Amino acid sequence: MADLTITDIDMAAMERFYRSNLINSLSGFKSVNLVGTIHPQGMTNLAVFSQVFHLGAKPVLMGMIVRPDSVPRHTLANLLETGSFTLNHLRADFYRQAHQTSANYAGSEFEACGFTPWFSEKIAAPYVREASVKIGLVFRERIDLAINGTVLIIGEVVEVRVPADCLLPDGYLDIEKAGTLTSSGLDGYHTTTRLSRLTYAKPDREPREMDCSGEKTGEQQ
Amino acid sequence: MADLTITDIDMAAMERFYRSNLINSLSGFKSVNLVGTIHPQGMTNLAVFSQVFHLGAKPVLMGMIVRPDSVPRHTLANLLETGSFTLNHLRADFYRQAHQTSANYAGSEFEACGFTPWFSEKIAAPYVREASVKIGLVFRERIDLAINGTVLIIGEVVEVRVPADCLLPDGYLDIEKAGTLTSSGLDGYHTTTRLSRLTYAKPDREPREMDCSGEKTGEQQ
């Protein structure tokens, strides 16, 4: 099948939703998390986000892109006021309800979409009890991106709750085993199948596969 | 199986590589791209990146986190000097070679790792001919993140080359059909299986599945 070339001129002329579907597909598969926050007066909030990414391991930082003019704006207001938020990986058994949190509800999306808030003693923000992988963060920095009006929120991880049998001896968390999904575009949800983990790349040898215990296996190629 | 709770105190005490493996797994599945650049004097460069994300559809912007002190620092230097870079989705038939680009080579990783540079008339940076999904970007903005010394690079998409049969009528690009991989942690590579696409969420109805033509199917639940 032939390749199709799409230029900036083509993109500028596209209908709004068509362009949004296309552009959201371009970066590749995305992380997809339910972001939990709470209003200072107590109402919980839950919103599905696919613009969350690793920022660094020391300190332990994650980044999240927020559009202040979008429905999940409560997430931004709450995390700025309380100084905390949670990330909760999506699983196949509740991805429809997770997708539904992006609808514009008057009350809490926890109740409206069938999720159970769970609180630790570490932070104010609620976790999603149904999620296998839960991450608690404190707000560290807000960077306004003038180029398109979005906001980069930087959070520091202060607490992690994961299934014990998904944490390998070398620290790799087997999120596939934990049932974590990935997303594509604005509305595609996918399970995964691991090809392999590959050993640290060095110029004088081909990468080798590692087994699920994090040990090196197989012959050097 | 019981849940394991890991606190900030635990993380601070972790051995460096253990912590890096764990923290890189936390954000969920990641996009994984080969980033192509060229030095003004002509040497091409190729590096695998998993910190690339969608930033906005109007203008068409993507973000990429770069560590200036890491091996792929040539990527940063080249894209700043020439003003362009490419993103090329990974496929299963060359993910080992793609992983290998993170080794510290003296010459071009295209040659060292078995990739073919391909140039369009639109930008200076080289594409990876072997990739099904190719994205050409011009450099728009550099934001230094003082919090951990990383750099956020913002690029504007000016050219896209995709398999024609992967572009659906509503603009959704079926990257699973194109063979695009996702990654986990520092070294895990995965294929995907779509559960479904879900319709735009509204408060008064459950999301429905869409078929691969982008049309709505199934009954409202």
- Note the pLDDT tens digit of each residue in B121-150: 999 999 999 999 999 999 999 999 999 999
Decide if pLDDT at B212 tops 80.
no
- For residues A171-189, give the mean pLDDT: 98
B29: its two tokens: 């599945």
User: In percent, how much of chain B has pLDDT > 90?
Assistant: 86
Q: What is the ipTM of this complex?
A: 0.94
Distance from CA of B9 to the nearest CA of A (A): 8
pLDDT value of residue B205: 87
Is the confidence at residue A221, as pLDDT, over 50?
no
Instruction: Compute the average pLDDT of residues B12-40.
Output: 97
Contact (Cβ atoms closer than 8 angstroms) between residue A181 and residue A91: yes
Query: From the list A6, A160, A197, which residue is nearest B188 (CB)?
Result: A197
Closest Cα in chain B, distance from residue A75 (Å): 17
Distance CA B86, CA A52 (A): 22
Q: Is B135 exposed, middle or buried (0-12, 13-18, 19+ CB in 10 A)?
A: buried
pLDDT digits (tens, 9 = 90+) for B52-82: 999 999 999 999 999 987 766 799 999 999 9
List, for residues B44-57, the tens digit of each pLDDT value: 999 999 999 999 99
Q: Which of B127, B138, B157, B129 is nearest to B79 (CA)?
A: B138
- The residue in chain A having the minimum alpha-carbon distance to the alpha carbon of residue B206 is A100
Note the pLDDT of residue B220: 36
Q: Which residues of chain A does B195 touch, with a Cβ-Cβ cutoff of 8 Å?
A: 92, 95, 181, 189-191
Are B174 and B188 in contact by the 8 Å Cβ rule? The answer is: no
Q: Is B13 on the interface with A (CB under 8 A)?
A: no
Mean pLDDT of chain B, nearest integer: 93
Chain A 171-200, CB below 8 Å of chain B: which residues? Answer: 171-176, 180-182, 184-200
pLDDT for A205: 87
Higher-confidence residue: A153 or A219? A153
Nearest to A32 by CA among A92, A118, A110, A112: A92
pLDDT confidence of residue B215: 53
Distance CA(B67)–CA(B190), nearest Å, equals 24
Structure confidence at residue B175 (pLDDT): 98
The pLDDT, as a whole number, for residue A212 is 65
Please check the confidence at residue A220 and state whether its pLDDT lies above 60. Answer: no
Instruction: Provide the whole-model pTM.
Output: 0.94
> What residues 97-116 of chain A have any CB closer than 8 A to a CB of chain B?
99-105, 112
State the pLDDT at residue A69: 77
Q: In the prediction, which pLDDT does A210 show?
A: 87
Q: What are the structure tokens assigned to A50, written together?
A: 């696919």
| pLDDT above 60 for B219 | no
Question: Which residues between 36 and 55 in chain B have a beta carbon less than 8 angstroms from any beta carbon of chain A?
Answer: 50-55
Residue A3 has a pLDDT of 94
What's the token pair of residue A111? 């109740």
pLDDT over 80 (residue B217): no
Q: How far apart are CA A56 and CA B65, in angstroms?
A: 10
CA gap A213, B221 in Å, rounded: 42
Q: Please tell me the predicted confidence (pLDDT) of residue A218.
A: 43
Is a pLDDT exceeding 70 seen at residue A214? no
Q: Residue B70: what pLDDT?
A: 73
**DSSP-derived secondary structure letter, A30:** B
pLDDT digits (tens, 9 = 90+) for A4-58: 999 999 999 999 999 999 999 999 999 999 999 999 999 999 999 999 999 999 9
Nearest to residue B183, comparing CAs of A165, A188, A30, A15?
A: A30
